[in-house]
Structure 1
Amino acid sequence: MLKKAFYWIGLVCSSLTLSVGSAIFILWWAARAFFAIDLSRLGGFGLMWIIISVPLALIGLVCSGIAAGYDSNSKWFKDGLPFIISFSNIPALWIILTLETNIAERTYFELRNRSDKNIDCVTLESVSFTKELGSLKPGASLVSYYVPRYLGGQNDQSMPAVEEVRVVFHTKADSVTRTMPYAMMGWCERIAVTDSLTLQQ
């Protein structure tokens, strides 16, 4: 019974450190990637969980070690599973931090078509890139991202100067080009497309 108790404590502690940390990251990323919403508080929760995970992982390792050495009739895979999960937190943390750094550089935005026009193709363009986003029917929306390019210096509002990004709406009648709202790295923007195909935040 004692072996089983120590085993399950080790397994639960090691699983919690991996699953909760991964869930926080996935939720933060999904909110940006699918809804252009910045759940900035999750960053604080993620840091807090890293601090909590250290003693939790140590408890898991100690309990797993006690369970594994409790008797000689042990099964190496079953007894080693908590150790495998615990040590997988190290590469998982590295992967999450690397992805978080890359994602945090992006400006996510949602374009919602509140006009009665069927936009056949939406293109995002600047001096440094061109990106086709697809079609946009009336009432529909799309979420995408780009990485702002800083130019150095400041603008009139004492904000860093960034490269201008334009959005081109292609309809059957013609093509309309609008300038995207000012945005810095890490920002999330929700933008409405009006009847005159202008952008409204």
Structure 2
Amino acid sequence: MRAAIIKKQLLFKIALACGYLPMSVGGLIFLIWWGAREFYALDLYKLERMGYDWALIALGILLIGLLLLVVFLVKKGKRGLGKSAVILVLLLLNYPVCRVLLGKRAELEQYAYVKVKNNTEQDHIALSIHPYFPGGNAVRLARGKGKVFRYTPEYTYTGDREYTVNTATLLVQTPNEKYRITLPPVKRDDCRRFYVDKDFILQNE
């Protein structure tokens, strides 16, 4: 008797897991990938690929969940309607969650992420990127600290369906000096990491 109860509970728990596991794992992969770009200007390409692969795996899990839901309903009948509704809601919830994540991914690919670190001998410098960040909103960095700038690079049409990235300038200000450093081309959906050395020359990190 007890074994039969445990078996029925196991069926419900597995079906339940098939509902929340796909969106939970997919959401976690997305948040780690997004956080790496937003806070560290790191593009985890392998993690992004893993997210697409997981979407295919999740589809299989959802189909298994639907099958288990039918089995659960057949075995429990009207007594299982409440639990079946919970499973069905979780299974269906994966669709809007997936839509939101894909929409957010499409939005984020319009941005470039540029991290600049203060490796000068100045304890505090002010940084901004022209023309995307006004000088009045410059970020102040202590020595050894960095900042990720997120912006949408502008392009110029050069003909024959070709576009070039418009030049951006890193503005560096100390209490005594101002420096204008031309940034290398940074395309949309790119992540780049730089530091300003003691001679106020921009270096790849």
TM-score by length of 1: 0.87
TM-score by length of 2: 0.86
Deviations 1:89-130 (A, max 9, x none): 11111111111111122111211111111334211112xx33
Letter in 2 for 1:80: A
Mapped to 1, the partners of 2:27 and 2:156 lie a distance apart of: 35
- Measured after TM superposition, the shift of residue 191 of structure 1 is 0.2
Match of 2:142 in 1: 137
**Structure 1 residues not aligned, in runs of 5+:** none
RMSD, aligned CA? 2.0
> Given that residues 72 and 80 in structure 2 are in contact (C-alpha distance below 8 angstroms), is that contact kept between their aligned partners in structure 1?
no
Match of 1:72 in 2: 78
- Comparing 137-146 and 115-124, the one that deviates more: 115-124
Match of 2:181 in 1: 178
> Given that residues 129 and 171 in structure 2 are in contact (C-alpha distance below 8 angstroms), is that contact kept between their aligned partners in structure 1?
yes
Match of 2:38 in 1: 33
Mapped to 2, the partners of 1:117 and 1:83 lie a distance apart of: 59
Letter in 2 for 1:15: Y
Mapped to 2, the partners of 1:9 and 1:172 lie a distance apart of: 63
> Given that residues 18 and 86 in structure 1 are in contact (C-alpha distance below 8 angstroms), is that contact kept between their aligned partners in structure 2?
no
Is 1:52 the counterpart of 2:57 in the alignment? yes
- Measured after TM superposition, the shift of residue 174 of structure 1 is 2.8
**Which has the larger helix fraction?**
2
> Given that residues 68 and 80 in structure 1 are in contact (C-alpha distance below 8 angstroms), is that contact kept between their aligned partners in structure 2?
no
Letter in 2 for 1:192: Y
Match of 1:12 in 2: 17
> Given that residues 118 and 125 in structure 2 are in contact (C-alpha distance below 8 angstroms), is that contact kept between their aligned partners in structure 1?
no
Q: Indicate which of 109, 113, 121 corresponds to 1:108.
A: 113
Deviations 1:157-182 (A, max 9, x none): xx841111111112211322211121
Match of 2:203 in 1: 200
* Aligned residues with identical type, % of pairs: 24
- Measured after TM superposition, the shift of residue 68 of structure 1 is 4.0
Letter in 1 for 2:129: L
Is 1:99 the counterpart of 2:104 in the alignment? yes
Mapped to 2, the partners of 1:145 and 1:111 lie a distance apart of: 11
Label 1:119 to 1:179 Cα distance change in 2 as closer, same or farther (>3 A): farther
- For 1:109-124, list aligned pairs within 5 A: 109-124=114-129
Label 1:190 to 1:26 Cα distance change in 2 as closer, same or farther (>3 A): same
Letter in 2 for 1:10: A
